[in-house]
Amino acid sequence: MKSILCYGDSLTYGADPDTGGRHALADRWPSALGAALGDAVHVVAEGLGGRTTAFDDNTTNADRNGVRILPTVLASHSPLDLVIIMLGTNDLKPAIHGRALTASYGVRRLIEVIRGHYVRPGDICPQILIVSPPHAVPTDDAEFAEMFGEGVAQSQLLADIYQRRADEAGVHFFDAANVAVASRKDGVHLDAANTRAIGQGLVPLVTEILGL
């Protein structure tokens, strides 16, 4: 059986912009991916609201720094055949740093962490797939609009620069903005259909990567 780790933020967690709660399990994109791939694949969903690529956010009681937590997650779920990373939206908050370029540096560091984790004799490093998240969109939610500042414009830069980082590192890349659109309810999160669409959109590439 192949094992996949989906490492992300609230978009992987399945935050529902309409209710403020969480989408049903079947509607979250890791679940949609697993359902399409079938019983030969085990998909682990590791999503945390507010998670960044590599930066601290001390406004919460959970550690949102993706680089710091990733080694523990890898150790918990190894061996793995594929790690899918979809992070960066929260990096665009001005309080974090607000730039797509810096988010890409965080993604580069996550790749380094994965490769550095599997260094002992007998270790097999999983394949890595970087997913650029859907673009943020304008919203009438004043708090989210303030929280993300120039995030709408910066989010449109993520795909090109993430593709560059993926090419530099020799890992796989997918642009989720090609299959999913954020809800204008808060400008960031996805309704159930768009959340499922990411998992479904990943199926051909993941099938190729894993040789299914």
> Can you list the domains of the chain with their CATH numbers?
2-210 (3.40.50.1110)
- pLDDT tier, 149 (very low <50, low <70, confident <90, very high otherwise): confident
pLDDT tens digit sequence for 3-60 = 999 999 999 999 999 999 999 999 999 999 999 999 999 999 999 999 999 999 999 9
- pLDDT tier, 115 (very low <50, low <70, confident <90, very high otherwise): very high
Q: Which of 77, 2, 9 is nearest to 33 (CA)?
A: 2
Rounded-to-integer distance, Cα 177 and Cα 163, Å: 13
Containing H/E element for 139? none
Residue 151 reports pLDDT greater than 90: no
Rounded-to-integer distance, Cα 84 and Cα 6, Å: 5
The pLDDT of residue 68 = 97
> For residue 116, what is the DSSP state?
H
High-pLDDT (> 90) share of the chain, %: 93
Helix, coil or strand: residue 80: coil
Round the average pLDDT of the chain to a whole number and report it.
96
pLDDT tens digit sequence for 63-95 = 999 999 999 999 999 999 999 999 999 999 999
